[in-house]
């Protein structure tokens, strides 16, 4: 199976990155591109963890089948820009996706993305919510096109995560995958980041 990270990167091309930069009010698209790559890897790690967990895997798989078939990927620019409305509102509910995958670890995640990309922590957090439906769409498209059950999807996800870590290993002290792995193992103790990000998303939608 092709690495899912490569698929996500293909859809988050330079035109999409430029559009996201404008939506965020970011001056440097290169920062947004680096942040988008880090966020995509982080979310794929989180999805992989969920899929390999007997308690959360079923819920994740159900959400993928119901809400994320990859349909948004065919006209991503217009979907992200708001020119094209998606019938199923859950498909584009980035806030809900990130809350489910990261919970109270969103602040720590945004801090890691800020450090690796230079994009400020607030914009990093909002970008996470904008990109989450894209990542889920890629995963859902893979599941649908290959007729994968939960076990098959978990294997694809885990294989992609391991491949990414092997490619990165050494030059970054074990790679970003190792950093994200530690982040995802942390217990969240609650913070104000959720409210700040929700305010930011409402501002972008005006």
Tens of pLDDT, residue by residue over 152-190, are 888 888 765 555 555 555 334 345 555 666 666 655 444
Q: Where are the alpha helices (DSSP H) in 147-174?
A: 150-168
Provide the residue ranges of all domains of the chain, joining segments of one domain with +. 4-205
Number of other CB atoms surrounding residue 44 within 10 Å? 26
DSSP letter at 27?
Answer: S
- Tokens representing residue 151 in the block: 């076990």
The per-residue pLDDT for range 14-67, each reduced to its tens digit, is 999 999 999 999 999 999 999 999 999 999 989 988 888 877 788 889 999 999
Mean pLDDT, residues 137-159 taken together = 88
pLDDT of residue 57: 81
pLDDT at 4 over 50: yes
The per-residue pLDDT for range 76-111, each reduced to its tens digit, is 999 998 899 999 999 999 999 999 998 888 888 898
């Amino acid at each position: 199976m092709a690495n899912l990270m490569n698929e996500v990167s293909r859809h988050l091309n330079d035109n999409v990155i430029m559009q996201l930069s404008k939506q965020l009010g970011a001056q440097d698209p290169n920062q947004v591109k680096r942040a988008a790559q880090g966020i995509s890897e982080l979310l794929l790690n989180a999805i992989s963890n969920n899929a390999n967990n007997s308690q959360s895997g079923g819920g994740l798989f159900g959400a993928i089948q119901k809400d994320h078939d990859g349909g948004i990927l065919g006209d991503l620019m217009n979907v992200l820009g708001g020119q094209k409305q998606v019938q199923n509102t859950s498909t584009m509910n980035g806030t809900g996706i990130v809350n489910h995958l990261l919970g109270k670890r969103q602040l720590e995640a945004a801090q890691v993305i800020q450090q690796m990309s230079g994009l400020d922590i607030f914009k990093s957090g909002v970008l996470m919510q904008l990109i989450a439906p894209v990542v889920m769409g890629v995963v859902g498209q893979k599941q649908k096109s290959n007729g994968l059950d939960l076990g098959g999807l978990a294997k694809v996800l885990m294989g992609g995560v391991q491949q990414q870590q092997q490619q990165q290993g050494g030059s970054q002290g074990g790679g970003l995958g190792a950093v994200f792995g530690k982040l995802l193992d942390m217990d969240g103790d609650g913070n104000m980041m959720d409210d700040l990000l929700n305010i930011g998303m409402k501002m972008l939608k005006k």
